[in-house]
Chains A and B, each alone.
Chain A
């Protein structure tokens, strides 16, 4: 890992954090290249928020280093802070302020002034769809709008790195889609780290996914890579009208089949067939059904979902 690599936005090396006797983050190593949307996945309490707090310079690491755009957080934490837009979990905002007032306050503290500040606030109203809410008190906004204010706050200085901690928690499905779309649009120009424990979120928005559990990385790759890596076995689900034992023996005789289970449900029989790795036996199954003259209602191949990968990696420890 070279230190002068221009395409790397964030570099985390041997990162550790201990709180008293608790080892919250253990030897974390990862890189985020510019323009990437990284999904940071893990169950609650896995160390996601702690890691984000270290990257945003809220707390220092116990050991290890964090570089943002080539700057070490230990050398110049104020410079690192100017490069990051952060939206913490639960979107903490000053409820007594007006939206416009709040954005002005944040902009000032983050180094904007005068005409530049004014134009950025206007941009934020457009990008985050807040123009109508400018004169509203933040405490009286709906959750969706609060979230938009949170995003506007993070984006106001146009930072190259955006860190979003559970940005869609507590939103309704429509709002989730809106926010997700906003994030995807931002991801075109910025590097985004997206923390979540909601898997569909992450697989829908992120190029790269990092799964952590108990403070350590347990898997890393694209959504497809992860499911491919974990979901080795092939599963077929079949719904036919046939004689149960005959069906079972016939299916077991097919090439590459490891295991068959049959379950009658009403007139139909549900069969699950597990085949060897990477063998496409769909055709054989269909032919078998066709040749025996059975009625077929359903035949589909199931591959492991990201959910399966997640539970497999983070379960029961």
Chain B
């Protein structure tokens, strides 16, 4: 636990030592707020459905941007070799890095709370729904982070990590979408719909948190963190 904390602290701080975190936060807030308020006054509804509707697409590009550096940089600089000779277990490093990237995402989401506050000033939004949407977004974001981290552990090139991260997340996102499942045999459609990241966010976008969706996101996170530990431990395999 102590080790995870040390790794977490270093990784989290590293975001703020370089311009990455600041650029990320600024661009994210400007982009999402702009996209949301464009339609908000036309809809004339005091809710954030529109905001959370675009979030999966925004995360698609923003989350791999957070995670691309995580392993790729360490591999390139060879610091990983030194790190892994210290008395630290592979999974502790993986979890520490995951928590650091996830925390940055949480901070960004918390900063976007200015939007519901603004809405609350001019209208009467459903607070429960918005809380549900935020929790759901964090879960989905965590799943994206786990995917992005794993991809980063496969390469020592950050750009490759970013592009592969976007592609893989996109594939997982689109796989359960109706226009993809349309062409599949009807027997496997429910399976693909279940695996897809997209279908689980629909109810969250409405502020409904279903235990099945929670379990789904937790399994995605667990699965990709497991793959991540495997890829770090693969140096020990023949």
Q: Is the pairing of A and B real?
A: yes
Contacts of A58 in B (CB 8 A): 81, 84-85, 235
Would you call A97 and B17 a contact (CB within 8 A)? yes
Interface: B6 (CB within 8 A): yes
Could you name 16 residue pairs across A and B whose Cβ atoms are closer than 8 Å? A53-B81, A56-B85, A57-B85, A58-B81, A58-B84, A59-B236, A88-B78, A88-B82, A92-B77, A96-B14, A105-B9, A109-B3, A109-B83, A109-B86, A110-B86, A110-B87
Size band of the interface chain B makes with A = 20 to 34
Contacts of A110 in B (CB 8 A): 86-87
Across the interface, B238 reaches (CB within 8 A) one of A18, A96, A106, namely A18
Distance A94 CA – B7 CA, assembled complex (angstroms): 13
Contacts of B83 in A (CB 8 A): 109
Contacts of B235 in A (CB 8 A): 58-59
Q: Nearest A residue to B83 by beta-carbon distance?
A: A109
Q: A18-B238, A84-B85 known; A96 and B17 CB under 8 Å?
A: yes
Interface: B38 (CB within 8 A): no
Give B20 Cβ to nearest chain A Cβ, in Å: 10
Q: Is the interface of A mostly helix, strand, loop or mixed?
A: loop
Contacts of B89 in A (CB 8 A): 78
Distance A227 CA – B177 CA, assembled complex (angstroms): 74
Interface: A108 (CB within 8 A): yes
Would you call A109 and B14 a contact (CB within 8 A)? no
Give A307 Cβ to nearest chain B Cβ, in Å: 30
Interface: A81 (CB within 8 A): yes
Give B76 Cβ to nearest chain A Cβ, in Å: 10
Interface: A95 (CB within 8 A): yes
Distance A101 CA – B17 CA, assembled complex (angstroms): 12
Would you call B87 and A109 a contact (CB within 8 A)? yes
Interface: A214 (CB within 8 A): no
Most buried by A among B10, B18, B78: B10
Per-position 1/0 for A74-113, Cβ under 8 A of B: 0000100110101010101111110001000110111101
Interface: B33 (CB within 8 A): no
